[in-house]
Amino acid sequence: MLKEYFPILLMLVLAIGFGVTMIFLSSLAGRKTATATKTAPYECGSLPVGSARLRFDVKFYVVAILFILFDVEAVLLWPWAVLQAQQLKLTGLVEAAVFVGILLLGYLYALRKGALEWE
């Protein structure tokens, strides 16, 4: 079985070898003139403004967590919706209602605790 993977290994070795060789050759043969402009850091072509180590507002963190939570809910409900009518019948409906009900409680909790207020 391992034999079938040999071409992949070969490809990997070739790719890494080619990249490393090229970098090595260009540093060996290339001309290097370092000016102040050339060594300066850049972001997307424009001049950098301040440090990249900024403080972000902790509110983003709460919003991101809530997003993940309710996003996963949608991910689970999608296959449920596809199967519901044909196979899951009443049991499936009750189970989905329980699941959404629990998430609704979570939503209510986030709402009352003020997690969705920005100011």
Partner 1 sequence: MTTTWRELGYLTPELVVLLGAAAVLLLDLFLPRGRRRVLGGVALVPLGVALGWVLRALWAQSGGPSQLHKVFGALLLRDPYSLGFDVVFLVAAILGVLLSLRYVEREALPAGEYYALTLFAVFGMMMMAMSAELITLFISYEILSLAVYVLAGIARGRAVSAEASLKYFLLGAFASGFLVYGIALVYGATGTTVLYDPLGQSASTISGLILERGLFGNALLLAGLALLVVGIAFKAAIVPFHAWVPDVYEGAPLPVTAFMSAGVKAAAFAAFARLLFGGFRNLGEVWQPVLWVLAVLTMVLGNAAAIRQQNVKRMLAYSSIAHAGYLLVALAAYTARDVAIGSVLYYALTYTAMGVGAFAILLVVGQEGEANQELSDYRGLASRHPWAAAAMGLFMISLAGFPLTAGFLGKFYILNAALRADLDGLAVVLGLASVVSWYYYLRVVWFMYMTEVPKAAVRPISRATSLGVAVAVAALLVIALGVFPSTALAVAQMAGHTLLPLGY
Half-sphere exposure of 29 (CA within 13 A, CB side): 6
Report the C-alpha gap between 91 and 73 in whole angstroms.
19
CB of 77 or CB of 110, closer to partner 1: 110
CB of 13 or CB of 83, closer to partner 1: 83
User: Could you tell me the smallest distance in angstroms from the CB atom of residue 94 to partner 1?
Assistant: 9
| 12, burial (CB in 10 Å: exposed 0-12, middle 13-18, buried 19+) | exposed
Degrees to nearest 5, angle at CA 49 with 47 and 41:
50
- In the region spanning residues 86 to 115, those forming contacts with partner 1, defined by CB under 8 A, are 90-91, 102, 105, 108-109, 112-113
CB of 97 or CB of 105, closer to partner 1: 105
User: Could you tell me the smallest distance in angstroms from the CB atom of residue 25 to partner 1?
Assistant: 43
Contacting positions for partner 1 (CB under 8 A):
90-91, 102, 105, 108-109, 112-113
